[in-house]
Amino acid sequence: MTAPQAACLQAALQVGYHLLDRGGPALVAVEQTIRVLEQSGLFNAGKGARFQLDGIRRMDASIMEGHGLRAGAVASVEGIVHPITAARMVMEETDHVLLVGPMATTFAEHFRLEPLHTPAPMRRLSYAMMLKRQKPVRNRHGTVGAVALDRFGTVAAGASTGGIALMLPGRVGDTPLIGCGVYADNQSGAVSMTGIGEGIIRIAVAKEICERLAEGKTPKSTARYVLRKLVARIRGAAGTLVLTPDGRFTISHVTPRMAAGWWDGRGKPTVGDRFP
């Protein structure tokens, strides 16, 4: 984690906490925290989103709150800085949960979300060439996410990503899939994932973590168990943020590093890239 990334994480945590401290809902705190990270260009989300093999940025995001199990998501959306806000608009302005592709982009444009200007691809590749150039998904990733608990006891979770490097156009990972990359339920907790989506999807990690929390397991033991299962069963790689309605939390990962942090309003926000 670079010094600018650490400073951005601290700023994002402060934005989210101050909203909660003023009585704001967890959902808004999650959205606004993630917007700081999308805006920065320092992570693989929003302005920092990676390009797919055809030279176009396509992004995914989702958000969920635990009181009414409301959720919204977008996948393969183009040309906006804040996919997390598009996800929230899906939740609040439609009866749907997930919008995808060009129509997700049209939806975002309808609500005049901040545009993301990128140059047109200089070179067009055939699909056969793109298949040859794709690489195994063991490369670096950088999904951004947040979980929050408000004074009313409601938890929320969200995530936003530009995917993985050198991916086929239209590839969708775990981030916009409720129960895989994100889940929130006031009866168990809130979970936001980062990592290689193909593995996270197959285990449905976020929902499994919440199910174990509902059984009375602790956040730390639950995260360790499910992440180790991910490694043992399919050699997956991931990290997670887990928060329960009574305020217990953990940051856990089975990757070498995971840039993350937390803050309870005292002292300075804690940030790092390695958590036990």
Total structural domains within the chain: 1
Q: Cα separation of 169 and 162, whole Å?
A: 12
Catalytic residue among 33, 143, 222, 244: 143
Q: Alpha carbon 269 to chain centroid distance? A: 20
Residue 261: which CATH number? 3.60.20.30
Reported as a single tens digit per residue, the pLDDT across 194-205 is: 999 999 999 999
Judged by DSSP in three states, 110 sits in: helix
DSSP 48: G
| Dihedral Cα 229, 31, 160, 87, nearest 10 deg | 110
CB 256 within 8 A of CB 7: no
Quick one: which H or E segment has residue 129?
Answer: helix 127-133
Reported as a single tens digit per residue, the pLDDT across 25-47 is: 999 999 999 999 999 999 999 99
Judged by DSSP in three states, 94 sits in: coil
143 flagged as catalytic = yes
Domain that holds residue 70: 3-118+126-272
Give the pLDDT band of residue 139 (cuts 50, 70, 90).
very low
Matching residue, tokens 């990733």: 141
Reported as a single tens digit per residue, the pLDDT across 245-274 is: 999 999 999 999 999 999 988 899 999 999
CB 149 within 8 A of CB 155: yes
What's the mean per-residue pLDDT of the chain? 92
Give the pLDDT band of residue 138 (cuts 50, 70, 90).
very low
Q: What is the pTM of this model?
A: 0.91
